[in-house]
Amino acid sequence: MSGTFSVLLDGLAFPEGPRWHDGRLWFSDMHFHRVVAVDLGGNAETIVEVPSRPSGLGWLPDGRLLVVSMRDRKLLRLEPGGLVPHADLSDMASFDCNDMVIDAQGRAYVGNFGYDLHAQADFKTAELVMVTPDGDTCVVADGLDFPNGTVITPDGRTLVVAESRGRRLTAFDVSSDGLLSGRREWAPLPDSVPDGICLDAEGAIWIASPMGAEVLRVREGGEVTQRIPTSTQPFACMLGGPQRCTLFACTAESSDPDETRVRATGRIEIAEVEVPGAGLP
């Protein structure tokens, strides 16, 4: 299976935000309004339903799950009795919230669309909002061209975000209080629209590239060292498995959120790679 994707799970609507956690891949089946976990045998479980569409996932240091609720621009926390509000981002996020990464201290970095993409509205840049473990919020970066997948290096000192419309990866220095500075281009991607991303132990980043129907491995500066085709459009990727050498891709034929047209074309695809995952998520 090395270097080639195969299907682990199908029958999904639009899988996004994959995370390897406690021996399973967790992801948001966005247009079916649910968070799902699946093991390497393909056994899937619905963890919780999220009416306003789930996206980014992550865990606080004490193990509680946080879920981005897209349309109402909230961050929700899963408690024994169900989902409860963790933070309201509606005053800071320009449009629907999207992907997220949580650092070792439990600070969440949440991106958003910036504008109504699917209604073909005029483009507007967007913000990256930091949410503390106590639910306080602040904008830590703005003027981003559709911030999407985000990773944090193992030392916690660098955050890299995919700017999908900007066709680039952008890096920031992370201070001890979680604020961002030193914005710089990490890798230009003129031939790709980077969506979800994940980091490996050599410092390279895997990128889901829906327009090319492939997942790319990119080094800082933009060198592409590997390309693995997917069955259809990949919108996110994650390294997991026992050795973190299993590359998961969330694929679907369309990202159309119109629920009258949703079809179960979404899949989780897997391939084995040589360099294990590192950092967060």
126-166 residue pLDDT tens? 999 999 999 999 999 999 999 999 999 999 999 999 999 99
Rounded to 5 degrees, what angle do the CA atoms 133, 138, 140 make? 105
Q: What is the CATH number of the domain that holds 199?
A: 2.120.10.30
pLDDT range class, residue 226, cuts 50, 70, 90: very high
pLDDT the model gives residue 115: 58
Residue 119 in this model has a pLDDT that exceeds 80: no
* Distance between CA atoms of residues 209 and 235, nearest Å: 7
What letter does residue 277 receive in the DSSP assignment? B
Residue 194: closest CA among 172, 232, 218, 168: 168
- Please check the confidence at residue 2 and state whether its pLDDT lies above 60: no
The label of the residue with tokens 């507007």 reads: 124
State which residues form the domain around 125: 6-272
Please state whether beta strands 34-38 and 24-29 pair in parallel, antiparallel, or not at all (unpaired): antiparallel
Domain count across the chain: 1
pLDDT at position 123 is: 77
Residue 157 lies in a domain: yes
Average of pLDDT values for 191-204?
97
Angle at 60 between CA 173 and CA 168, to 5 degrees: 35
| 3-class secondary-structure state, position 59 | strand
20-24, 123-127, 186-190: least confidently modelled range:
123-127
CA distance 236 to 220: 19
| Best CA proximity match to 99, nearest among 213, 250, 230, 232 | 250
> Can you give the pLDDT at residue 1?
39
Sign of the CA dihedral with 43 first, then 48, 53, and 57 last: negative
- Its pTM stands at 0.94
Burial 23-55 (b: 16+ CB within 10 A, else e): ebbbbbbbbbbbbbbbeeeeebeebeebebbbb
Hey, which residues does 215 pair with through a beta bridge?
Answer: 208, 228
Query: Is 238 part of any domain?
Result: yes
Predicted local confidence at residue 258, as pLDDT: 63
Domain contains 1: no
User: Quick one: which of 164, 203, 195, 170 has its CA closest to 56?
Assistant: 195
**What's the pLDDT tens digit per position in 73-93?**
999 999 999 999 999 999 999
Q: Omega of the bond prior to 54 within 30 degrees of 0, cis?
A: no
Query: Residue 122: its pLDDT value, please?
Result: 75
The pair of three-digit structure tokens given for residue 235, joined into one six-digit string: 């919108």
Find, among 107, 101, 98, the residue nearest to 14 by Cα.
98
User: Is 36 inside any structural domain?
Assistant: yes
Is 278 part of a structural domain of the chain? no
Partners of 247 in the β-ladder: 239, 271
Across the range 209-236, mean pLDDT stands at 97
Q: What percent of the chain has pLDDT over 70?
A: 95
pLDDT tens, residue by residue, 4-52: 999 999 999 999 999 999 999 999 999 999 999 999 999 999 999 999 9
Q: How confident is the model at residue 259 (pLDDT cuts 50, 70, 90)?
A: low
Buried b (16+ CB within 10 A) or exposed e, 155-186: eeebbbbbbbbbbbbbbbebeeebebeeeeeb
**What would the mean pLDDT of 205-210 be, rounded to a whole number?**
97
Tell me, yes or no, whether 136 lies in a domain. Answer: yes
- Residue 40: inside a domain: yes
Alpha helices (H) along 116-229:
none
The answer to whether 181 and 175 have CB atoms below 8 angstroms apart is: yes
CA 83 from chain centre, in angstroms, equals: 20
Rounded CA separation 281/275 (Å): 16
